Structure formats: structure tokens, C-alpha cells
Amino acid sequence: MDIRELNERIHLESAFVDGIIKEIGRVIVGQKYMVERLMVALFSNGHVLLEGVPGLAKTLAIKTLAETVQTKFQRIQFTPDLLPADLLGTLIYNQKEGNFFTRKGPIFSNLILADEINRSPAKVQSALLEAMQERQVTISDTTHKLDEPFLVLATQNPIEQEGTYPLPEAQVDRFMLKLKIGYPSREEELEIIRRMAKTTGTTGVNAVINPQQILQARKTVNDIYLDEKIENYIVDLVFATRQPEKYGLPELKPLISFGASPRASINLILASKAYAFIKRRGYVIPEDVRAIAMEVFRHRVILTYEAEAEELTSEEVVTQIINKIEVP
């Protein structure tokens, strides 16, 4: 297909994106960064790990998104005494009938908010991450497919580490994106108190699309054109996290313990295509890659003790790499 025809088709098929942003904007003040990246994950079939202090509308954002796309929403509060069965479900004995029946857990929904995932022990984290990866749950000897679309937004509170169980790096890699969100601006804070400082509930939102249209949008994202030069640019970014000395960054070699995995390459391509889709374009440009690269790399570049001793963060290292690699 001609690139102009493809661009026109994508422009038409992504028309609903503006409607979703408008509806979410009726409830959420600001947070454009978070809303856009939630949609990137939704349209590229990925999951999101979100780090931010309490009260930044994390729950409200994903709940509102679920309403605008007509999907089921479940919020699961992770606690130290949570069990895998509380999440996935279990077999219940029916005394009257004399048999067992399956009681499905809250994981059987479309959009899941795993609130404070690092408060639960490893067993529960593993159960959630397995469901995220396999898109299915096994209860006793029966395997149940999870509904599509399926998106997990897991939150971590960065200000409390006491009594928490940090996610292992290998498991964090399962998340397509890791977002860090900060406080709103002064103008946004004023708008928040004017809109939200009420004893009644928040404004309702209208449904814009349905789950079937989300699945169709995912197929459309696959059709977005990605030039070979952009592919090579993405591979260069990933390899620069593994072998920085070959890309003119020898000073980063002793600071990086492990570079980004092949999942980073795959997810950066998918996320870049989805980002182009929500920008209503039929092709990926280098700015799409640069816009989403930090969220893909942030949790995949593991620093050495030396870097931590110098109080360096993975964001600072990734920023150096993004700024150094030549843009096609």
C-alpha cells in the first residue's frame, strides 16, 4: 500500500483517540503524559508499571479509561497477607450438589489496577506476572483464558520501602513501560481543587469505543509503516545499553551492569507504532521512538554498585544514550 493511502487510512481509523482524550480530560486534570502512555500500552497489548506518590489520580485515570472504552475494571489492593487464590480464584466445594465449582478471582477482568504491587509477597507477584505473560490462568487442572483486551497497571509507592517486597529485575522486564509521574503544576492544582473539592462524586464519562474496536486498533497498529532506518536506530539504542563503549560512550561501561533485553527492542517497536497511532500517523518517525524510549528502557537498564555509589539513576544513563545515538 502507498504510504499516503496508509496514512489516510490510519488517520481515519484513529479518529476515536481524540474522543478518548477529551472524555478522560473531563475527569483527569493534566497528566497528559500518563494518559497517552496508558493508551500506548492498550493499543500495543502491553502492561504498565507506574511509580508515583499517592494522590496523583492513578486509580482514577485507569478507571476512567475503562469507562471510555467500555471494558470491565478491577482494582486489587496488594497486601502482605494476599494469597494467589485471592487474585486468580479457587475451587469451592458445593455441599448441596456434592461437587466443586470454580470461583474466578478479580484477575478475570479487562483493565486491572494492581495497587502497590510491591506490598505483596513473591508468590502473589509471580501469579500476577504469569497471568500477564500467558494471558491465561490455571485453577486446579483447568486452564481459563483471560478476556481481551487485558491490561495491567501496577503501581509502586516510591516513598515507602518498609515492609515491601521489591519486584525482581527479571519480573519487572515483563512490563512494557515503566512510568514515573510527578506533582501537577500550580495551574493544574488550582483546576483540581475547583473540580474535585466537592462532597459528591466526579463527573461521569461517555463510552467512546468498545472492546472489539480496541482489538481492531491493535491490528491496525501492526500495519503502521516502520522504515528500516528506524529499525536500525532502535537496535542501536538497545545495543548501546549493552556495549556503550562501541557507541562512543566508554564512560558508561563501568556503570551498566546489565543492558536492555531483546524484549526492549520488541516493545520499543510496538510502543513507537502505537504512539504514532495515537498521533494519528501511518508511519513512525524518530521523534516517536525518542518520546517513548525512556519508558521502555528505564526499568531494563540495571546499574552497577559503582553507579549507585555515585547516586546516578538509570534515567540519567538512558538520557545520555538517547542523546548520543545518531537520529536517522
Give residue limits of the domains in the chain: 15-80+106-196+208-214, 224-324
Q: With bands split at pLDDT 50, 70 and 90, how would you rate the model's confidence at 203?
A: low
Q: With bands split at pLDDT 50, 70 and 90, how would you rate the model's confidence at 202?
A: low
CATH superfamily, region 15-80+106-196+208-214: P-loop containing nucleotide triphosphate hydrolases (3.40.50.300)
The whole-model pTM stands at 0.87
Average pLDDT over residues 116-128: 86
Is 269 in contact with 291 (CB distance < 8 Å)? no
So what's the pLDDT on residue 58?
79
Q: How far apart are CA 277 and CA 221, in angstroms?
A: 6
Q: How far apart are CA 301 and CA 131, in angstroms?
A: 24
pLDDT at residue 73 greater than cutoff 80? yes
Average pLDDT over residues 64-77: 89
The phi and psi torsions of 54 (rounded to 5 degrees) equal -60, 150
Indicate the DSSP class of residue 252: G
CATH code of the domain occupying 224-324:
1.10.8.80
The whole-chain average pLDDT of the chain stands at: 87
The phi and psi torsions of 260 (rounded to 5 degrees) equal -70, 145
What ranges in 243-328 are assigned the alpha helix state H? 262-278, 286-297, 305-309, 314-324
Percent of the chain with pLDDT over 70: 97
pLDDT at residue 117 greater than cutoff 90? no
Q: With bands split at pLDDT 50, 70 and 90, how would you rate the model's confidence at 192?
A: confident
Q: With bands split at pLDDT 50, 70 and 90, how would you rate the model's confidence at 178?
A: very high
Average pLDDT over residues 178-191: 85
Cα separations in angstroms, 191 against 49, 54, 100, 182, 184: 27, 18, 53, 16, 10
Average pLDDT over residues 99-117: 87
- 175 sits in the region (left: phi over 0; alpha: psi -120 to 50; else beta) called beta
Q: How far apart are CA 129 and CA 165, in angstroms?
A: 14
Lowest mean pLDDT among 86-100, 110-124, 307-321: 86-100
Q: How far apart are CA 59 and CA 206, in angstroms?
A: 18
In DSSP terms, which residues pair with 76 in a beta bridge?
Answer: 114
Q: With bands split at pLDDT 50, 70 and 90, how would you rate the model's confidence at 183?
A: confident
So what's the pLDDT on residue 163?
61
So what's the pLDDT on residue 96?
80
